[in-house]
Amino acid sequence: MSVNPVFAVYIIPLAIIAFIYLLLGKRSEKQAMSAHSEAVEAKLTEPASLHPIIDPAKCLACGACVAACPEGRILGLIQSKAVLIEPTRCIGHGACASSCPFDAITLVFGTKKRGVDIPHVGSDFQTNIPGIFIAGELGGMGLIRNAIEQGRQAMENIVNSLQADKNGRDLPLDVVVIGAGPAGFSASLSAMQHKLRFVTLEQDSFGGTVAHFPRGKLVMTAPATLPLYGKMNFRETTKEILLELWYDVMKKTGLRVLYGEGVKKIMPTENGFVVVTASARYATKTVLLAIGRRGTPRKLNIPGEEQSKVVYRLIDAEQYKGQHVLIVGGGDSALEAAISIAQQPDTTTSIAYRSKSFSRAKQKNRQLIEKLQKSGDLQVLFETTPQSISPTEVVLQQKDQTIVLDNQAVIICAGGILPTGFLKETGIDVEKKYGTA
């Protein structure tokens, strides 16, 4: 019996390709199921940022969302549906949603179990108070690339609102930019580009949250465009390289930032607003809030916390060389501080966390912590809370056990208090999101 040449040339190769495709698909699904089961078992199921929810009725398992995620296999295909298999590793890129050809993915804040406070922001970045805009981390966009893009877009919307203003308001400033992090930096450059009259106020240091990352921290970013500069063509770089670039842009553009100008209040006037700081008042037509979500560092309110050896963020790990150091907290900032300090010579490093696992930290940080713990370079204390701090010791409570550690420095990374009071006093609506857009 002879074989049809068409069958041999076309059908057999197609059958082989289909078999290989199905085999790889099964293997990929098995890996996704394993990763998802591990996340559930470790109770790592609550995303800390903007994240996707998938409509199974619309999902046709094309895999575009899986391939689009810059962070790796955060999504996977299980039983022919896309699933968020490692929720705590999701950091809100949003590439999955834009890549889905079936509109099956919605990006949301919070979950049914854990709500997230988000101020009201319209599609033009304007709040419910006309003339006050929000961009960046405060609006839920903590990713550097997203914050830079939002700062630029928000300023363009401010320009449009000023051009549409027919009242001819005579005020010294067109806009006050509050915050000099990624969003505020980008917005300020855009204001320069559009030749607006503006000031940029920063209560702390240039770079916002980025400036407070530990030395050498890798900053995950995608290419982003800065006004007056152009495209930043890197995807992964250190804090130092990124800040060096930004300082160079500041120098070349002549951008000026007023430091030590913490804003006390924003008062509406007949023609616009007055932004009040501890040392000055700025009359302006519009305001752009580009501040972080951390606000004031959250304190433990325990005896001895007022000592100078207690701080609320790591700036330079080398200063703790040869010391007994305790880090308190279970988020990425706490883990990154512990990793940096544990790698210093002759340092005794411990990290205490009230929960059973580091459920909200990135997998890469959790893996480094486990490695340091196994090597004996880091002591990990779960279900543990500090009780008091003395000049030479710190007292901890772990279930029914009291632990006393020799101590010369304490770094408390317990997050910050969202500036909800400031926002509400200004009149901006704040909503707690439970898995909604």
Q: Which residue has the tokens 């009149």?
A: 427
Note whether 249 and 146 are same-domain residues.
yes
Note whether 103 and 126 are same-domain residues.
no
Note whether 240 and 310 are same-domain residues.
no
- Whichever domain contains 276, its CATH number is 3.50.50.60
For strands 310-311 and 409-412, give the pairing: parallel
Q: Residue ranges of the chain with pLDDT lower than 70?
A: 1-10, 12-26, 41-43, 48, 91, 140-142, 166-169, 207-222, 234-236, 294-296, 437
- Please give the pLDDT value at position 63: 86
Note whether 58 and 165 are same-domain residues.
no
- Please give the pLDDT value at position 24: 58
Q: How many domains, the chain?
A: 3
Q: Supply the pTM of this predicted model.
A: 0.69
- Please give the pLDDT value at position 276: 94
- Whichever domain contains 68, its CATH number is 3.30.70.20
Note whether 189 and 266 are same-domain residues.
yes
Q: Whole domain around residue 373: which residue ranges?
A: 299-415
- Please give the pLDDT value at position 166: 65
Note whether 150 and 268 are same-domain residues.
yes
Note whether 234 and 312 are same-domain residues.
no
Domain boundary among 108, 129, 150: 108
- Please give the pLDDT value at position 141: 60
Note whether 402 and 382 are same-domain residues.
yes
Domain boundary among 51, 86, 108: 108
- Please give the pLDDT value at position 132: 95
Note whether 125 and 173 are same-domain residues.
yes
Note whether 163 and 267 are same-domain residues.
yes
Note whether 256 and 122 are same-domain residues.
yes
Note whether 178 and 235 are same-domain residues.
yes
